[in-house]
Structure 1
């Protein structure tokens, strides 16, 4: 499905991502871990084509993503939805309109200017919000919602694109443990029930182990680990974070595994 070949990004004299290679042959949930500055966000931004690469290639289902331009590039960005740590919603706009922004790549300029949406899209947006357990907030301004609710609105907006891949850049970094768990539950269920690949940058080892089928570790822009959650031992984590023997997993943990599993509305296709 997805192949990343020796992908590199340099900024001036600094190499942010250094010859990263990843092959994904089936839909899965992948966690990328590593300390701040390891290159995780730059890697996702290159995947989504928000940032241009310096060298290497990205291929998906026969398309060379790194060569796409114009409309073809926008089509890829619809197929590869991005969720950000700070939600990137329009705060003073109502929730359902924020979700409908997920259709912008498929709408005409005139429809966008006058904020015109087909009834079918409006109903679908509400159905997606219901799926994520927040349909009752559809008419509210986004700024009136809690951080966890806003992140679920951002997930709903991504689902409006009907993407094949969902990229999540530190989706729970600014959330409390309970809301972090709700958001990660939602992403996991979307992967399982929709068959979508989810690739998430994560800052907690317990989250990566609990939710991901595969974990990739980055250090100084390079991939230094690519394996299963079971292979992510404390010693391996120490190497990924470039830490000494004093390294403690508690420093990277939200302890969400100790909380009662939060419930969200059933996710369906």
Structure 2
């Protein structure tokens, strides 16, 4: 389905992503891990065509993605939804209208200017919000919701595109453990129930192991690990993160149970 071949991105003399290659032969939930600056976000932005590759190619179901432009590029971005760490919602706009923004790529300029939506799209937006457990907030301003709720609104907006791939760039990095768990469970259900490919940049190993079928590790722009969650041992993690023998997974855990077992921080 998806083939990433020697994908490279340079910013001046700095190489952010260095000849990254991997294939995905069927819909899966894939976690990409690595320390900040490893190239994870740049990789996803190239896949969505928010950023152009310096070298290499992206192919999806036989279509070359890296050379698309104009309407063909916009059509690809509709098939490949992007979810961001900071939600990218319109804060003063109501929740359902934010979700309906997922249809902008197929609406006329006039309809967009006057905020006109077909009744069917409005019903679909509310159904998606209900599926994500936040339909009761449809009429509220987005800014009135918690961070976890706002991220689910962002996911709902992505689903309005009816995408084949969902790219999530650090979707839980700014959330507390309870909301992080809710968001990851929502992404996992979308993968399992809809058969959509989900690729998420993640900071923590426990999250990748619990929710993903496959884990890709990046270090200094290069892919240094590609395997199953079971193969993601502490030793492998040390290599991905460039850490020493004192590396502790518990210190980066987002699992509520792990946090409950941890010792209290001295005052």
Cα shift at 1:179? 0.3
In structure 2, what is the Cα distance between the partners aligned to 1:238 and 1:110? 54
- TM-score, normalised to structure 2, is 0.96
Number of residue pairs matched?
A: 260
Cα shift at 1:228? 0.1
Q: What RMSD over aligned residues (CA atoms) do the two structures have, in Å? A: 1.1
- The residue that corresponds to 1:98 in the other structure is 98
Cα shift at 1:252? 2.1
Tell me, what secondary structure is at the counterpart of 2:66?
helix
Asked if structure 2 preserves the Cα contact closer than 8 Å seen for 1:170 and 1:203, the reply is yes
Asked if structure 1 preserves the Cα contact closer than 8 Å seen for 2:250 and 2:258, the reply is no
How does 1:54-203 map onto structure 2 within 5 Å? 54-203=54-203
Q: Deviations over 1:186-231 (max 9, x none)?
A: 0000000000000000001000000000000000000000000000
- Structure 1 residue 51 and structure 2 residue 51: aligned? yes
In structure 2, what is the Cα distance between the partners aligned to 1:135 and 1:48? 28
In structure 2, what is the Cα distance between the partners aligned to 1:156 and 1:70? 25
Return 76-85 or 240-249, whichever deviates more: 240-249
- Structure 1 residue 219 and structure 2 residue 233: aligned? no
Cα shift at 1:259? 8.2
- Name structure 2 gaps, 5 residues minimum: 261-267
- TM-score, normalised to structure 1, is 0.95
Return 245-254 or 197-206, whichever deviates more: 245-254
Q: Deviations over 1:104-131 (max 9, x none)?
A: 0010111111110000000000000000
In structure 1, what is the Cα distance between the partners aligned to 2:256 and 2:18? 32
In structure 2, what is the Cα distance between the partners aligned to 1:196 and 1:233? 27
- Structure 1 residue 25 and structure 2 residue 25: aligned? yes
In structure 2, what is the Cα distance between the partners aligned to 1:45 and 1:175? 22
- Name structure 1 gaps, 5 residues minimum: 261-269
After the TM superposition, which parts of structure 1 deviate over 2 Å for at least 4 consecutive aligned residues? 255-260
In structure 1, what is the Cα distance between the partners aligned to 2:68 and 2:252? 37
